């Protein structure tokens, strides 16, 4: 995911929407990911956001069509509206 964020962060204002559309088309939904991809994602997310449950616990609980409960809020969060859109500078954690 870091490569994708870098790519999006380096996008110019003119091609930002095209970059977003391309990244969205390349990114499978959680329900389309196999177990190894889900394990990889959960491992990255767990480390980055310091989730307490183990990857095995998360896989056991969220092995269906939806990702962990906290993931959609992080992915879909749009902020308070104080930042103009599109946001070209990625805030790293």
pLDDT of the chain along its 93 residues, tens only? Answer: 677 778 878 888 888 888 888 878 887 888 888 999 999 999 998 998 899 999 999 999 887 778 887 775 555 555 555 555 555 555 544
The pLDDT of residue 93: 45
Number of helical (H) and strand (E) elements in the chain, helices listed first: 5, 0
Q: Is the Cβ–Cβ distance between 13 and 88 less than 8 Å?
A: yes
What is the model's pLDDT at position 92? 47
Domain layout of the chain by residue ranges: 2-76
């Amino acid at each position: 995911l870091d490569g994708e964020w870098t790519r999006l962060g380096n996008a110019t204002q003119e091609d930002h929407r095209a970059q977003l559309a391309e990244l969205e088309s390349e990114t499978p939904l959680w329900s389309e990911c196999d177990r190894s991809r889900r394990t990889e994602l959960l491992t990255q997310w767990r480390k980055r956001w310091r989730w307490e449950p183990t990857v095995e616990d998360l896989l056991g609980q969220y092995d269906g069509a939806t990702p962990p409960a906290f993931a959609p809020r992080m992915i879909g969060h749009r902020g308070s509206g104080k930042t103009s859109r599109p946001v070209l500078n990625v805030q790293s954690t």
